A and B are shown apart, each in its own frame.
Chain A
Amino acid sequence: MIHRYQLGGMNMVVDTCSGSVHAVDEIAYELIGLYEDMPRDEIIRALGARFCDQEGVTEKDIAECYDQVTALKENGQLFAPDTFEPLAGELKSRSAGIVKALCLHVAHTCNLNCAYCFASQGKYHGDRALMTFEVGKQALDFLIAHSGNRHNLEVDFFGGEPLMNFDVVKRLVAYARSIEKQHNKNFRFTLTTNGVLIDDDVIDFANRECSNVVLSLDGRKEVHDRFRVDYAGKGSWDRIVPKFQRLVRARGGKNYYMRGTFTHQNPDFLQDIQAMLDLGFTELSMEPVVCAPGDENALTKEDLPTVLRQYEELAELMKKRRKEGRPFTFYHYMIDLKGGPCVYKRISGCGSGTEYMAVTPWGDLYPCHQFVGEEQFRLGNVWEGVTNPAVQQEFADCNVYARPECRDCWAKLYCSGGCAANAYHATGTVRGVYAYGCELFRKRMECAIMLEAFRLLDEA
């Protein structure tokens, strides 16, 4: 399966199953489109009639181009068959029972009252609660006990607002650091925060202990303050931006994401990315809102052309800024064409419910943070482990071949079958497909691949 597209003045060909990416001229672009449907001579004749009036182009050139395509096919870099299906469950079955990442919900409460919050203002449709040190410690012990031979263990402090339980966060990190060497583990801590409680103590802690921090900012003040308000209804932008700037400065401008959410109210989210850049932030992530279809803030079919255009314009802005020596990172446009994840990772799905779980303040385990509060998805708890193997199996069976809709998608080995939570919320089953999200994902991948191709060719 191949995907051809033209973007940013480039002709791109992605060979789905080999993962090969080719930047091609117009002749090769057209030739590859015809290659599997027409005989060699007919293709050369047809393209000759079309291109031979261009300076320097002869039928001999076109024949050479044809032979280059044939050589790539023979080398497994074009029109590669999909031979990976038998491997689909292998990684998960090889690592059955291994857990390597936890999302610790240290606070099911929040000091902001954001209307669009998928976690219902941090409560996840339940009671407000803070995780005790004892529950958190048990979660870390559970993680170590179930991590098998995995060396790198990921723990994200999440909420609600995790800094509302900062003392427990600090104690849990100290505990993990005190035991990681004896177990030959390396904890990677991350923190996702709305910024309200950031102070020097938090900055010191985050910079000392956290491999990444995720900072919630929606961009323009008026956009941010529309949703991200306190319980008095007052916007938080003025309070948090200076704190974020201090934290990022103290981190040397690295290992953070400024993470925004865009909704039906601001499908023109490039303006919000520009606002983040104007504030001096350069490591950026902007996510489509997660909410029920029909919600007044949900992205609509009518928003789609605007959103897709924003992604393309964002790619152009990144090219421009890189040329000016002012580059910035967009999380979804990071791609390593020279390496990247191996095929096992690409076909195995995201790991929710198997290697990755969320832990509630009460110690209950869920397949991921987005399933917390959905009682039928409760996997077990940090004392007894997984006590609901049927639910875990449902997630273990999620892979790129589990969804018929993915079979003919050129981007399937870049998304690995998509987000189970998005699928569940859109279709009622984790084996479903959130088609709107797929449209956005494919556009992001087109932009990411084009941008990286442009960079590699520019530097060559």
Chain B
Amino acid sequence: MKHIQTLTARTLCESAKNGGCGECQTSCQSACKTSCGIANQQCENKAQQENK
């Protein structure tokens, strides 16, 4: 019986490998302007995308 379905593709440790390019959107710029959150930011790093 399958009790657990893992929905994420990579761990955050793995994201450190090619991470930190800084090209992604500044958190609340151009959107909500009043509450910080980075969960909805898209990764713009091509190397990261290839690792997915």
B-binding residues in A (CB < 8 A):
13, 17-25, 27-28, 31, 56-57, 61, 64-65, 68-69, 72, 76-77, 80, 83-84, 87, 90-91, 94-95, 98, 100-101, 103, 118, 150-152, 154, 156, 158, 188, 190, 192, 211-212, 214, 257, 259, 285, 287-288, 290, 331-346, 349-351, 355-356, 369-370, 413-422, 437, 440-441, 444-445, 448, 452-453, 456-457
Known pairs A341-B41, A416-B38; A72 contacts B4 (CB<8 A): yes
Interface residues of B in 18-41 (CB under 8 A from A): 18-20, 22-41
Chain A residues within an 8 Å CB radius of B44: 152
**B48 & A351 in contact (Cβ 8 Å cutoff):** no
Chain A residue, CB-CB nearest to B27: A350
Contact of B36 among A31, A152, A416 (CB under 8 A): A416
Contact of A340 among B20, B31, B43 (CB under 8 A): B43
Q: Which 4 A-B pairs have the closest CB atoms?
A: A342-B19, A344-B20, A190-B30, A334-B40
Known pairs A20-B11, A98-B22; A351 contacts B39 (CB<8 A): no
CB distance from A191 to the nearest CB of B (A): 9
Contact of B7 among A21, A288, A349 (CB under 8 A): A21
CB distance from B10 to the nearest CB of A (A): 7
CB distance from A261 to the nearest CB of B (A): 8
Contact of B1 among A56, A214, A288, A290 (CB under 8 A): A56
The 22 listed contacts between A and B (C-beta, < 8 Å) are A18-B13, A19-B12, A20-B6, A24-B5, A25-B3, A76-B11, A77-B8, A84-B12, A87-B16, A158-B33, A285-B32, A332-B35, A338-B52, A339-B42, A339-B49, A345-B20, A350-B36, A418-B36, A419-B36, A445-B39, A448-B39, A457-B7
A-binding residues in B (CB < 8 A):
1, 3-13, 15-16, 18-20, 22-45, 48-49, 52
A340 to B11, CA, bound (A): 11
CB distance from A416 to the nearest CB of B (A): 5
**B40 & A335 in contact (Cβ 8 Å cutoff):** yes
Residue of B4, B32, B34 with most chain A CB atoms under a 10 A cut-off: B4
A201 to B15, CA, bound (A): 43
Interface of B is mostly: loop
Chain B residues within an 8 Å CB radius of A344: 16, 19-20
Chain B residues within an 8 Å CB radius of A341: 15, 24, 38-39, 41-43
**B29 & A154 in contact (Cβ 8 Å cutoff):** yes
Chain B residues within an 8 Å CB radius of A257: 31-32
CB distance from B44 to the nearest CB of A (A): 7
Contact of B35 among A158, A413, A437 (CB under 8 A): A437
Chain B residues within an 8 Å CB radius of A349: 36
**B13 & A346 in contact (Cβ 8 Å cutoff):** no
CB distance from A452 to the nearest CB of B (A): 8
Known pairs A18-B12, A340-B39; A28 contacts B4 (CB<8 A): yes
**B5 & A22 in contact (Cβ 8 Å cutoff):** yes
Known pairs A27-B3, A336-B42; A419 contacts B35 (CB<8 A): yes
**B8 & A21 in contact (Cβ 8 Å cutoff):** yes
**B38 & A287 in contact (Cβ 8 Å cutoff):** no
A457 to B4, CA, bound (A): 12
Chain A residue, CB-CB nearest to B41: A341
CB distance from B51 to the nearest CB of A (A): 9
A414 to B19, CA, bound (A): 16
Residue of A69, A77, A259, A345 with most chain B CB atoms under a 10 A cut-off: A345
**A350 & B34 in contact (Cβ 8 Å cutoff):** no
